[in-house]
Structure 1
Amino acid sequence: MIANESNSLTFFTPEASNELGTVFFDTGISCGFPAPAEDFNEQRLSLDKELVRNRETTFFARVSGQSMIGAGLEDNDLLVIDRSLEPQNNRIAVCFLDGEFTVKRLRVEQGEIWLKPENPNYPIIKITEENEFIIWGIVTNVIKKV
């Protein structure tokens, strides 16, 4: 991946890969009682094929901050962002606002746009004509470390 850093997000672009993917056991892993191991069906899995719909318009960015913890986006999570998707009410978007990147939930009502954090310690931002504002892309997936 190629990195490009801003103040609040670090962006990455996917690199083309000829790899077949990682071994994937398509059995379903039980979160209750253990399941018999004899039914394992080994396949190859490419996370690019699972997470990236449009390679030319997809980027990755690492989250910095706590404003979206209520939506499950935590510091250092990796976002998959598709720039070809249409912004819609209630989607989580990466936006360029007044010279900085931010990730927030879009609220669009009666021709007005708000950026809503998912943490009550952060204010809702109303977008006005005075703002330099671009919806840069829509978050499609989140990759977490455990």
Structure 2
Amino acid sequence: MKKVFISSQLDIYKPEFSELNIPLAGEASAGSFTNVDDFVSERIDLNKLLIRHPEATFYAKVKGNSMNEDFNDGDLLVVDKAEEWSHGKIALCYMDGEFTVKRIDIEKGVCKLLPSNPQYKPITITSENTLLIWGIIIFSIRRHG
């Protein structure tokens, strides 16, 4: 990944592509134990799985906790600039000179940017704001452990 933007809210990266095929273990049960080796039957390329529009796709690393019901600090977001934005989608927004990640809420002609952390207030967009929906979050990658 090549870092293309750094701020206190997030870092943005451009993906670098390679052919990396990883064994796909099929579906993993969250219940009783199964032997994964018995199910390895194909290989996947994570670039092909996660990225639909290579020239319009970026990664962003989450900083902060305003979206902690959806993402944790340090999670890697896959952002697609070619994806259409609409009510309910989570977007990387450029508002008044700063990037932020929020859920788009449009109700009765009013646009709000909603955090998922209840400690933060929704942001109501007015004519005084400059807002650009920079891209839509299509996947997130989280480190466990």
The TM-score normalised by the length of structure 2 is 0.91
Q: Kindly provide the amino acid, as one letter, of the partner of residue 14 in structure 2.
A: T
String of CA shifts for 1:92-128, please: whole Å, max 9, x gaps. Answer: 0110011110000100123221001001110110011
Whether 1:6 aligns to 2:24 is no
**Cross-structure match for 1:85:** 83
Quote how far apart the aligned CAs of 1:36 are.
4.4
Q: Kindly provide the amino acid, as one letter, of the partner of residue 65 in structure 1.
A: G
- After superposition, the CA RMSD in angstroms is 1.5
CA–CA separation in structure 2 for the residues paired with 1:32 and 1:90: 31
Preserved CA contact (<8 Å) 1:7 1:101: no
Quote how far apart the aligned CAs of 1:37 are.
5.4
Preserved CA contact (<8 Å) 1:98 1:132: yes
**Cross-structure match for 1:115:** 113
Query: Number of matched residues?
Result: 143
Preserved CA contact (<8 Å) 1:7 1:100: no
Shift in CA distance, 134/20, structure 1 to aligned 2, threshold 3 Å: same
Preserved CA contact (<8 Å) 2:51 2:57: yes
CA–CA separation in structure 1 for the residues paired with 2:22 and 2:140: 19
Preserved CA contact (<8 Å) 1:58 1:80: yes
For structure 1, the 5+ residue unaligned runs are none
CA–CA separation in structure 2 for the residues paired with 1:92 and 1:12: 18
CA–CA separation in structure 1 for the residues paired with 2:3 and 2:124: 30
**Cross-structure match for 2:24:** 24
**Cross-structure match for 1:68:** 67
Preserved CA contact (<8 Å) 1:62 1:77: yes
For structure 2, the 5+ residue unaligned runs are none
Shift in CA distance, 13/38, structure 1 to aligned 2, threshold 3 Å: closer
The TM-score normalised by the length of structure 1 is 0.90
Identity %: 42
CA–CA separation in structure 2 for the residues paired with 1:38 and 1:22: 13
